[in-house]
Structure 1
Amino acid sequence: MSEPARHSGLTAFGRTGRTGRVVKRLAALAAGSAVLLSAAPPALAAAPGRTGFAEASADYPASVAIDTVTPTVAGQNDPITITGRVVNAGGGELKSAHAAVRVPLGGKSLRTRSDIALVASRNNPSTQDGSDLQSPQAALGDIGAGQSRPFTLQVTPADLTISKAGVYELAVDVWGGTADNERMHALGIARTFLPYNAEPTSRATQVATLWPLTHTPELVAQTMPDNDQMPVLRDDGLAAELAPEGRLYKLVTIGSTLPGLTWVVDPDLLDTVYAMTKPYRVQKPGTAGESAKEENTVAGTGKDVATAWLAKLRQAVAASGSEVVSLPYADPDIASIAHNGADLNGMDTTLRKAGTAGQVTAEGRLSVDVRPDVAWPYQGALDQQIAATARTAGDTLVLVDGTSMPEPGSLPYTPNSARSIGNGQTAVVADHTVSEPFQGDLSTQQAQTAATQRFLAETKMITEQRPQDQRNLLVMPPRGLTVGTATALAAALGAAQKGAWINQVKLDAVATAAPDPDANSSVPGPADYPNELRGSEVSGSALGDVMGMQTRLDQLMRILTQPQRVRGPFSAAMVRSMSTGWRDKASAGNAYRAGVQEYLDNLISAVKVPAKSVITLPGDNGTLLVSVKNDLNQAVGNLQLRLTSGQLNRLDVVGLPETVVLDATTSRTLRFPAKAQSNGPVQMTAQLWTTGPDPQPYGKAVSFTVEVTSVTQGVLYVIGGGVVLILLAAARFYLQRKKRSVDPDDSDPEADADTESGSDARSRAGSETDVDSGSHTAGDAGSDTTADAVPGPVDAPGTEADSDPESAADAEDRVAGDEKVGH
């Protein structure tokens, strides 16, 4: 039977949804162990391994854990010290218990990686584990329920009948009696692995190890409203990680001891730390969408630790043999984008810009050359959509976990990591079984030992599969590498390097190695992407909202006189909104995105037409006063205000739209001549528009009502006077004719003429009075301080109206908001 290159006893990383159930079973059996067991071949997957405390059973009530193995790699005649603990997890007392090391069955080494997986899959004591050494034994005495006992055992390779180089099972079991069975019998067992390195390997395997320095985004779009644009962070938790006892500080310290390390850095983290080396502010809780001010922020505390950490990192990455991979700026979640947002307008451009910005930032902050064309999808899970999105972003190298591209079971060795996947891209596939023990937080000594010994066993076996051929491996820990896990990984790499079966190299060395023609180079389809990982993706609606901000941001840029104060911080915040760092912090990611959206809304709405109430226009002609307000801390222009009537046949605005130019935190009143045709309410709309070749509405339209009063009264008086004159003339003509018909000989033309001229004069005098009495008067414009109506002259002879619109305008100009927007 051939030896499979990788052992995928668990269904390939969630492709059927089974992984979550398997993990839960392992957790139940591990009883507090943080070690992730490597998968076994399919036939063996049902039995989880016991590399730490295991869940007790009625037959095996003792949980055994191996805390340390010293040395981790045994040499000829080296004494081997094993320490650990035994916990009575049963309900009764364990009587006269003792711990002992088992001699490997037949003193034989494990021959294949499948053998290693088989040992890891065992649970209860078995004859396959060999037999107990009679000496030494660690007496534990009686152990009450829930009690624990430590043990220390020291043996030599000769005690274990080990004589040839290879990988051996190292098992410690506990024997004793119970209340139900007082005779001595096996009560529990723990297993690990012991490489024996009597002679050096002919050709060491080249191993590239990723050393990620990432963090969830901290910088926000806001800056303080001063000339220096002091940066603002969402919280000050990063300062603790940069301190000497913090995670990021220790990662740099540990990494600086490893030769040939590949640092994988998020440039946004470097930018944030650099910002912290100067005075900065931190948002108070609940103010994520507000403009930054003294009252809603506090002073940051991380200046000294940020300065020291950045200097330490620069020294570490400059060491000979190191390589720096620059992730795209803010580490955008390429898997979420590929599945939910690849077709969004502007996404391709955003990804390419993030890659360029990442390179420029990393090289500038670290003063070293970086490799910018590397895509690292979340947890290394790859499918065809992700590969295509990475290619669009300009990434030629993709870091992949082995569960996405498993090797065929017929392959009797572990192939090199690099393989071509077409379209000019190379996948560097991390061996899942080698990397898996370092995926969790190895916070206990026992967990670190289990991971270290498994790593040493796997890498030594890989090297011995084809010792005449140069081998190349990639080790991929998680982005959020913890201190405990980093400590264990560094110890494992150091021990294997000292044992001379691996040689630590940069990523470039592994990526450029000749691909193995028998290795799997097929990229899975989208249907094979792990279901568990889809559940934590940034949704399509969230990505759509983020990309939708760009159009609104571009519109804001058109009116600002200093757009650079907003463009850079906001563009960076948009990419941070899509960061992979939010994968395991979904609520924090949602809050960050909501804060960016709210802040942009506040900036846009800071330039506005204030809301209006009903105003009165007391005449046929008048002037409507409308104010525009700028609450930003910079001047705005390239705007005009358009005032439109909902009923042009009743009230129309005369003239062109008014140009708007406003200094920071000021307001201005604009005047619009209006002509009314009839009385009553008319709906008016005030809307700001951008100017230029493609004018667009800016902000929200403001509607208000103009109440038109006293229209056409003077005209009616004139018409009424004319009608009266006609009626009087008709009556006089009728009376004269009647008189002549009664006494035609008594007519007196002179008298008639005198009478007519007097009547006409009296009629004309009465008409002029009526017109004068009907002239308009200035009325109360109402209580609205942001709009007014100033009456104009009536279109009738002899009428006139005086007004003083300047006083209302001056009052408007004095209205200024107290709130200042951060930009």
Structure 2
Amino acid sequence: MPVRQHQARPPRPRGRVVIALVLTLLAPLLLTLSATTLAAPAQAVDEVEETDPLAVSIDQLDTVSLDGRTKGRITVRGKVANTTEEEWAGVNVYPFIGNTPITTSEDLAEAAELPADALVGERIVAEGAYAEIPDLAPGETYSWSLTVPRKLLPVTEAGVYWFGVHALGATTPKTADGRARTFLPLVKEPNKPAKAEKVSLVMPLRRSVVYDADGSVSYLPGWTRDLRVGGRLYRMLETGAEMPDLTWAVDPALLDAVRNLAEGNPARNLAPTDEPVEDPEESGSQSASPSASALLPSPSASADADAEAPTSEEAQDAQEAATAWLSRLQKALAGHNVLALPYADPDLSALATSDPDLLASARKQTTKALAELGIKATSAVAPPTGYLDRAAVNLLEPGAVNLVSDKMFRGATPVIADLDGHEMIVTSSGAAAGGPGPNDPTDAISVRQRLVAEAALLRGSGKPLVALLPDGWQPPQDAASYVAPWTKAAWISSSTLPEAVAGHKPTSVTAEKLRYPRREMRAEISADRIRTANELIGAGDMLQRVLTHNDEVAADILNEALTSTSYSARRGYTDAAADALTYVGAQLSSITVSVPPKVILSSMKGGEFQVTLSNELDEPVTVRLDAITDESLRVATSEPVQLDANSKASFNLAASMRDTGTHTALIVVTDTKGNPLGGHASVPIRPSQVSGVIWWFVGTGCALLFAAIAVRLTRRIMKAKKARTSTGVL
């Protein structure tokens, strides 16, 4: 018979008994301590748990559950790493299993929160059931594998059991120096076979998307790491392609960012785009999966990218990774149910309170983006935290798939909740929470085994398990070996989302039953960030009106602005929208106007003066000039003026005045709707000061001149008559 040993700590000194007695007597006093005071020891325990000298992981487990039989074997594989600065020798990795089954989802949730050094199972030390590890140098990692005969797992009752491994060094034969834990359900067929448990997995295809001020995708090394073969996003596609009846929840902002990377990550495009293009509706109907030609950059786009200056090494690496990922995406989505999230997966509760119109814009952009890619999808929302406040619930679309967590409801949770006609499919918060520590709760095995554990506890209830995988989920390195045990479990019925909830009628709930924690309210995107996003959208509209031949830049900037309101932006430390707004504002302000130092009108009734418009952009623009003056000065606005790229143009503006004073006109460059772009110049204007007096003097002078001429002519005539009289001439 195999010898089993409990995981144990070193024996306690007897003095601790006295301490325990004192603490018991002082318990009422200790209960009055503040939560802050009590938090310090807990934090210290967590820090101790993280200092295990041997870091152990479970990377493969060739079964998802046990049955009532005692035949067969279980193979477990993983890694052990030496985290110390000393060499470790004589390390063995032993499997262990719990004694008592967990039978409720609530108990499972409590078990997942137990500290890593809690006593949860019995170690199996039978010869051949453990793995022997060679000497481990500091920082060295070793891959181990062990096979456990089913007969060495003494569990017979249905429920969920602890399962995992302990790594022990030669000098510590009783206390684990490293550990990895997960859950392993035992599912027994009753006398009357129960129906298979419907399990619907929803895999969110979304990621934090941040753009630089010039419109190029930011943080390229992170994108390359995630998109390349073996990266997290690539492994997600491989796993999704293997998983039966999977439902994808796709954020089109992710697809657009990857396509931008595949094109070489160019900056925002201001070049002409108003050339006629083929209507996608005329070229073919939409399909459930995209075509490779729609996803990958067009040959012309690639040629344009190649014609530009050579990209950086980072951009080239990201381009290669993005191209490979897009090629893999087609196969991953093919044949699966696809849900379409609002563009950039915006913070629904924040927008519902601050700007519902922005949410409508996000939905419109999703429809446009997926139509261009030929992807047919159902409109949906799936907040990563699982929560929506009442205002966000009121904005849910009829006919859309709305996924929320069971944590959002007080008391028993229905399969489908209905609040005043707004239907929500309820997902499992336990399944999304992942596995227990000390391992990453969102690693592949932790998430899979928590899923099957929750499904096993639901079996026979008549309720399906709907699970929205956590965003931080780490897909397996080998998708086929990961999915195979899932598909072999006869008691699991992999179902699409519509199949899983079919036959379940919505249950009416009241607003009082909803929960929206304060931490959610504090985490929401701020109203200031939403305001900045709207300002950026307005600047994008203005830039498009200014560019003579570009009719797409406003949509591009709208998409960029939406990414700054996403759930992932809650964790952002920089405001990308503010940086982009400054950048676009500088581009608009590069269209300038120059005026004379001063203008003197020849008449108060009217005159003209010359101004010069300059376009420093590399694209042609169409603008107008407006003038801001007081009531005594009037300057006529100009008609729309077209300027070529990097060019200047001069023309005259008409002005008139009501008095003889000096007045200042502010000449402003605007778009065709009269919105100021930023360029401006001021000019003082006054009429000529001599105009009225000069005309008086001129008139008087003319009168005197004509009078003198008349007097002189009269004298000459009189003198001539007098001369004739004196000579006798009549």
Q: Tell whether the structures are fold-level matches, with TM greater than 0.5.
A: yes
Sort the Cα spacing of 1:622 and 1:90 in 2 relative to 1 into closer, same or farther, 3 A.
closer
Residue 159 of structure 1: aligned partner: 152
2:666 to 681, 685, 701: 685
Task: Render the CA deviation track for 1:312-349: whole Å, top value 9, x for unaligned.
Answer: 21222223xx111111223222232124x23xxxx42x
- Report matched runs for 1:511-522 at 5 Å: 511-515=501-505, 521-522=509-510
- Report matched runs for 1:283-362 at 5 Å: 300-301=315-316, 305-319=321-335, 322-339=336-353, 341-342=354-355, 347-348=356-357, 350-362=358-370
Residue 500 of structure 2: aligned partner: 510
Residue 72 of structure 2: aligned partner: 78
SS in 2 for 1:685: strand
1:264 shift after superposition: 1.5
2:488 to 494, 498, 501: 498
1:153 shift after superposition: 6.5
- Report matched runs for 1:786-805 at 5 Å: none
Aligned-partner Cα distance in 2 for 1:378–1:79: 38
Residue 246 of structure 1: aligned partner: 231
Number of matched pairs: 632
SS in 1 for 2:253: helix
- Report matched runs for 1:663-674 at 5 Å: 663-664=643-644, 665-672=647-654
- Work out whether residues 402 and 424 of structure 2, in 8 Å CA contact, stay in contact via their aligned partners in 1: yes
Name which of structure 1's ranges 96-105 and 198-207 shifts more when overlaid on structure 2.
Answer: 96-105
- Report matched runs for 1:468-479 at 5 Å: 470-479=462-471
2:382 to 376, 386, 393: 376
Residue 168 of structure 1: aligned partner: 161
Sort the Cα spacing of 1:174 and 1:676 in 2 relative to 1 into closer, same or farther, 3 A.
closer
- Work out whether residues 387 and 405 of structure 2, in 8 Å CA contact, stay in contact via their aligned partners in 1: yes
- Work out whether residues 204 and 500 of structure 1, in 8 Å CA contact, stay in contact via their aligned partners in 2: yes
Task: Render the CA deviation track for 1:492-541: whole Å, top value 9, x for unaligned.
Answer: 76434322222221122234440486xx9455689x53344444432112
Q: Which amino acid in the other structure matches residue 202 of structure 1?
A: A
Sort the Cα spacing of 1:488 and 1:453 in 2 relative to 1 into closer, same or farther, 3 A.
farther
Q: Which amino acid in the other structure matches residue 349 of structure 2?
A: A
Residue 774 of structure 1: aligned partner: none
1:686 shift after superposition: 2.6
Residue 703 of structure 1: aligned partner: 682
CA RMSD between the two structures: 5.5
- Report matched runs for 1:298-697 at 5 Å: 300-301=315-316, 305-319=321-335, 322-339=336-353, 341-342=354-355, 347-348=356-357, 350-365=358-373, 367-372=374-379, 374-391=380-397, 396-405=400-409, 407-408=411-412, 418-437=415-434, 448-463=444-459, 466=460, 470-481=462-473, 484-485=474-475, 494-515=484-505, 521-522=509-510, 528-551=515-538, 554=541, 561-562=548-549, 564-587=551-574, 590-591=575-576, 593-610=577-594, 613-614=597-598, 623-632=608-617, 639=624, 641-642=626-627, 644=629, 646=630, 648=632, 656-664=636-644, 665-672=647-654, 678=660, 681-687=662-668
Aligned-partner Cα distance in 2 for 1:93–1:656: 86
- Work out whether residues 636 and 653 of structure 2, in 8 Å CA contact, stay in contact via their aligned partners in 1: no
Larger Rg: 1
SS in 2 for 1:662: strand
Does the alignment pair 1:715 with 2:729? no
Q: Give me the TM-score of the superposition, normalised by structure 2.
A: 0.69
Aligned-partner Cα distance in 2 for 1:137–1:273: 46
SS in 1 for 2:571: coil
Task: Render the CA deviation track for 1:407-466: whole Å, top value 9, x for unaligned.
Answer: 44xxxxxx76x313224322122211122117999779x954444444333322222xx2
Task: Render the CA deviation track for 1:583-634: whole Å, top value 9, x for unaligned.
Answer: 33342xx12x023312442344344433664456688886422233344555
Q: Which amino acid in the other structure matches residue 267 of structure 1?
A: P
Residue 739 of structure 1: aligned partner: none
SS in 1 for 2:330: helix
Sort the Cα spacing of 1:355 and 1:197 in 2 relative to 1 into closer, same or farther, 3 A.
same
Aligned-partner Cα distance in 2 for 1:632–1:683: 29
Aligned-partner Cα distance in 1 for 2:529–2:41: 34
Residue 768 of structure 1: aligned partner: none
SS in 1 for 2:345: coil
Q: Which amino acid in the other structure matches residue 582 of structure 2?
A: E
Sort the Cα spacing of 1:167 and 1:20 in 2 relative to 1 into closer, same or farther, 3 A.
farther
Aligned-partner Cα distance in 1 for 2:136–2:394: 60
Residue 812 of structure 1: aligned partner: none
Where structure 1 has 5 or more consecutive residues not aligned to the other structure, the ranges are 1-17, 33-52, 224-231, 285-291, 409-414, 730-749, 759-823
Name which of structure 1's ranges 275-284 and 598-607 shifts more when overlaid on structure 2.
Answer: 275-284
1:305 shift after superposition: 4.5
Aligned-partner Cα distance in 1 for 2:36–2:206: 26
Aligned-partner Cα distance in 1 for 2:586–2:243: 49
Does the alignment pair 1:213 with 2:213? no
SS in 2 for 1:244: coil
SS in 2 for 1:686: strand
Sort the Cα spacing of 1:429 and 1:719 in 2 relative to 1 into closer, same or farther, 3 A.
same
Name which of structure 1's ranges 597-606 and 634-643 shifts more when overlaid on structure 2.
Answer: 634-643
SS in 2 for 1:564: coil
Residue 281 of structure 1: aligned partner: 266
SS in 1 for 2:408: coil
SS in 1 for 2:423: strand
Q: Which amino acid in the other structure matches residue 406 of structure 2?
A: G
Where structure 2 has 5 or more consecutive residues not aligned to the other structure, the ranges are 1-33, 270-304, 720-730
